[in-house]
Amino acid sequence: MANSNPKLAEIAQAVCRWSRSAMLVAFVAVWTSKPASADVRHPSYPKGLQGTWSPSAEQCGTDSSSRIVIGEKRVVGPKVECAVEYVAERAGPRGPIYSGRGSCIDRAPPQNKSMMNLVIEPRIDGTTWIGTTFEKLQQYQLCNKIP
Domain residue limits, the chain: 2-32, 40-145
Q: Alpha carbon of 61 to those of 51, 56, 92, 99: distances in Å?
A: 13, 10, 31, 26
Nearest to 98, CA basis, from 38, 142, 55: 38
Q: Which residues of 55-92 are buried (b: 16+ CB within 10 A; e: fewer)?
A: beeebbeeeeebbbbbbebbbbbeebebebeebebeee
CA distance 115 to 131: 14
Q: Which residues pair with 116 in a beta bridge?
A: 102
pLDDT of residue 13: 73
pLDDT of residue 9: 65
CA distance 132 to 74: 15
Q: For each successive 10 residues of the chain (147 residues), what is the average pLDDT? A: 64 62 44 55 95 90 84 94 96 93 93 95 92 94 87
pLDDT of residue 33: 40
pLDDT of residue 10: 73
CA distance 88 to 72: 14
pLDDT of residue 31: 43
pLDDT of residue 29: 43
pLDDT of residue 47: 94
Do 53 and 146 meet the contact criterion of CB atoms below 8 Å apart?
A: no
Do 139 and 127 meet the contact criterion of CB atoms below 8 Å apart?
A: yes
pLDDT of residue 16: 57
CA distance 135 to 129: 11
pLDDT of residue 18: 59
pLDDT of residue 26: 45
